Every structure is written in C-alpha cells, then in structure tokens.
Amino acid sequence: MKKIVLTLLIANLVVFGYGYYRYTTANASPDSERLKPINAEGVRVLTSQQYAKLGPAKVAQLTLACAEWGPFNDAELTKAKALLEPLALGKTLNQRRVDITAEHWVYIPSKPNKSAAERALSELSRLGVTDAAVVSESGPWQWSISLGVFRTRSGADKRFEEVRTKGVKTATYRAREQTVAATSIVLREPAQATLAKIEEFKTQLVGSTVVTGACPENR
C-alpha cells in the first residue's frame, strides 16, 4: 500500500514539474505575446556618430527641446522681440525670468539726498536717457543713479560711450558684483532656419547667448 501511494506521489510531482517547465519556457520565448516589442519596425537606434551629425536644430526636434536666447534687460528684450517679430513664431515663443550675476556698473555717483537724485534723473530724461534709475537702498550707493548693470565689460563700455555722447558728463564705471533680474526668450522646437536667424541676431545684442537643450520645465 505504501509503495502504491509513494508511486502516485512521484507521478504527480513529475506531471507538475513538466507542466511548470512548459509554462515558464513558453512565457520566456521571444515569440510570446508578453515579450513582443511594441512597434519595433518604427524604432530606429542612432549611433553616437549619427546623433552628432544631426545638428542642434534636428536634435531639438527629436528630443522636444528648446532654444533659449538671452539673458536681456528690459531695453534689450524689446529689441530682441522686434528682431523676432518678422519670423511669426506665435505660440512657440515664450519668456522666462532669470537671475544673473553682473559685475560691470555704469552710474552717476551718489547725490546728497533724494531730491537731488530725482532732479538728476529729470535732467537725464531731458538728455534722452530714459532708462536710468535712482538707487534708494541704504548703503554707500544710496541716491546714486544707475545707468545700467552688465555681465560683460564690453557691454558696460558701450553704454558708457552712449550716455557720454548724449551729454552725461558725470557718468562713470566701476566693477561691482550684483544679482539682477533678466529675461530669456524660449523657443520650443525651433526650425533650423529660425536658429540660423537667431545666431545672426545675437551679434546685435552684446553678451547674449543661444543655448539648445531640454526645455526649462524639464531641466
């Protein structure tokens, strides 16, 4: 009796083992539905050499990337937008506020008080300098007149010559690190022709750069 029971038990184990083996090998097969690749015929793998030859515009299209041009102060932003207007970029164009570190300052030294600073600001307006600002924060520069903060010395020199030409004889320059708010223009999935145009435009805005890559929300 014991031999019969033992024989049946072994037989059951053999049947179970064989069935389990068939199940696992079937599911592991490349032909099984579970492991079939989805739309394999539509997938193309690029080599690093092929990817490098695509160029920034094509890479931007493949990766849903953006081009970011800037940063700009308010006056530069107005000029950049005017340059881009004929391209009719529509909803692909957006703006992003950024904080930048600027080390070059063109200014008029501090006045004795607020009233004197405001009179100097009015005189600047009369001379055609309308984008100056009074520094009101407490400290050594209080009641000075800021004529512009720049990331590059060349940008500061250009501004200095501009205001001096307009008759602002008290304008001066100094190195002073400041964090200032600026704006960058972001273009989503730009065409190669658009990128080429922006590369031309950036020479008209000293210190601006064009960077392609992931869009700001994906960084």
Phi, psi of 131 (to 5 degrees): -115, 30
Closest by Cα among 45, 10, 69 to 199: 69
What is the predicted pLDDT for the residue at 145? 96
**C-beta separation of 211 from 184 below 8 A:** no
What is the predicted pLDDT for the residue at 8? 42
Give the contacts of 101 (CB within 8 A, at least 6 positions apart). Answer: 151, 177, 178, 179
Closest by Cα among 192, 182, 189, 185 to 213: 189
Give the tokens for residue 144.
């000075």
- Per-residue confidence in pLDDT tens, the chain, 219 aa: 544 444 444 445 444 454 544 545 544 444 444 334 434 444 444 455 655 566 655 554 555 589 999 998 888 899 999 999 999 999 999 999 999 888 999 999 999 999 999 999 999 999 999 889 999 999 999 999 999 988 889 889 999 999 999 999 999 999 998 888 899 999 999 999 999 999 999 988 877 899 999 888 776
Give me the residue label for tokens 């008290």.
170
What is the predicted pLDDT for the residue at 205? 86
